[in-house]
Amino acid sequence: MFRAILLEKDDQGFRAGLTELDEARLPEADVLLAVEASTLNYKDALALTHRSPVVRLWPMVPGIDGAGTVLHSAHPDWQPGDRVVLNGWGVGETHWGCLAERARLKGEWLVRLPEAFTARQAMAIGTAGYTAMLCVMALEDHGVTPGSGEVLVTGATGGVGSVAVALLARLGYTVVAATGKAAEADYLQALGAASVLDRAGLMAPGKPLQKERWAGVVDTLGGVALANACAQTRYGGTVAACGLAASMDLPTTVAPFILRGVTLAGVDSVMAPRAKRERAWARLARDLDPALLARMTDEIPLGEAVFERAAAIMAGGFRGRTVVGIA
């Protein structure tokens, strides 16, 4: 038996709670993992609060991220005792996830835990931090360098935003952190933001082309904020779009793209190929300051606190990253 969060939906409606499950109920896959830590991302909060149709198989053990030790493997790449990290691949959506003491996962989904990180640190990073790294890599791949000019990060106090600010600042970029939480300016500056911008200025519809300011953007909001970010991006700049915390829409025109050569670079973490994940995790081990990671992270146990934190994340009032300690 193992402890797990279980989400159920049937004729009686939606139910969620901590329960004990038989290992025989775990889905088919070639690696059995003893989960040491998991985390709560925005998508986990959506699933736990049943706010949007993240879960597509019922009942579901949520948890899109996990880190721990291989207990059993029928996959050639993994042996018992190997330390691994899992992000995405539909885990916690269509395949039982990692808010549990055990997970059975496909070996091809796993990445070796970098030696620089404990399982808890890997989960402090989680999909949010790994996505922030993918965004930084997208900017770099499109030629945005620290010398190019200011880089805007939206949703800056969130998980993706906090890690993006810390990474970009450490790499030498001049980071402008846009937030709706004026009281968190000190937090963002401690992570390395050169200045803090009131999110409200990005949330009102603006002209198709605005004063050129950003050499690069990491956008977690979507909607009008992303449209304004594109309209304010300098000639030849790049906007890495990874989120929809404000909106799924994109009410923009083609003007920034055809008149300023702006690149809108889409960033997906869920189905990203393994080589790209390994590159991102190696870069995180090199470029993320562990002291800043600790500063943005808070740990909760597997239990009722998971649901309380998910509600806080959905209310947009939580800052940074959550680790769910499991073993």
Q: Any residues with CB less than 8 A from the CB of 252 and at least 6 apart, and which?
A: 208, 226, 227, 230, 231
Q: How far is the CB of 214 from ligand NDP (least distance, A)?
A: 16
Query: In this chain, which of 95, 102, 120, 181 binds ligand NDP, going by CB under 6 A?
Result: 181
Antiparallel, parallel or unpaired: β 233-241 and 214-219: parallel
227/313 with CB nearer ligand NDP: 313
234/309 with CB nearer ligand NDP: 309
Could you tell me which of 292, 294, 323 has the C-alpha nearest to residue 309? 323
Query: Would you give the distance in Å from CA 293 to the centre of its chain?
Result: 14
Residue 256 within binding range of ligand NDP, rule CB under 6 A: no
DSSP helix/strand/coil, 126: helix
Of 29-37, 40-48, 97-105, 291-299: span binding ligand NDP (CB under 6 A): 40-48
69/247 with CB nearer ligand NDP: 247
Residue 92 within binding range of ligand NDP, rule CB under 6 A: no
Query: Could you write out the DSSP letters of every residue in 296-312?
Result: TEEEEESSHHHHHHHHH
Q: How far is the CB of 101 from ligand NDP (least distance, A)?
A: 24
Q: How far is the CB of 8 from ligand NDP (least distance, A)?
A: 23
Residue 300 within binding range of ligand NDP, rule CB under 6 A: no
Q: How far is CA 31 from CA 64, 71, 83, 276, 277, in A?
A: 16, 8, 12, 21, 19
Angle at 12 between CA 7 and CA 18, to 5 degrees: 25
Q: How far apart are CA 106 and CA 90, in angstroms?
A: 11
Residue 180 within binding range of ligand NDP, rule CB under 6 A: yes
Query: Would you give the distance in Å from CA 164 to the centre of its chain?
Result: 10
Query: In this chain, which of 31, 37, 43, 153 binds ligand NDP, going by CB under 6 A?
Result: 43
Query: In this chain, which of 16, 70, 160, 310 binds ligand NDP, going by CB under 6 A?
Result: 160
121/179 with CB nearer ligand NDP: 179
Q: How far apart are CA 142 and CA 148, in angstroms?
A: 11
Of 11-19, 71-79, 155-163, 287-295: span binding ligand NDP (CB under 6 A): 155-163
The footprint of ligand NDP on residues 230-249 (CB under 6 A) is: 242-246
Residue 277 within binding range of ligand NDP, rule CB under 6 A: no
Query: In this chain, which of 102, 104, 199, 234 binds ligand NDP, going by CB under 6 A?
Result: 199
Give the 3-state DSSP-derived string for 55-114, with helices as H, strands as E and coil as C.
CCCCCECCCCEEEEEEEEECCCCCCCCCEEEEECCCECCCECCCCECEEEECHHHCEECC
16/45 with CB nearer ligand NDP: 45
| Omega within 30 of 0 (cis) for the link into 208 | no
Look up residue 323 and give its two tokens. 């680790």
Q: How far is the CB of 247 from ligand NDP (least distance, A)?
A: 8
Residue 228 within binding range of ligand NDP, rule CB under 6 A: no
Look up residue 211 and give its two tokens. 């004063």
Query: Could you write out the DSSP letters of every residue in 142-154?
Result: TT--GGG-EEEES
Q: How far apart are CA 110 and CA 86, in angstroms?
A: 5
Of 24-32, 48-56, 73-81, 173-181: span binding ligand NDP (CB under 6 A): 173-181
Closest residue to ligand NDP, based on beta-carbon distance: 158
Give the binding-site size for ligand NDP (rule: CB under 6 A): 30
Residue 155 within binding range of ligand NDP, rule CB under 6 A: yes
In the complex, the residues that contact ligand NDP under the rule CB under 6 A are 41-43, 127-128, 131, 155-161, 179-181, 199, 220-221, 242-246, 267-270, 313, 316
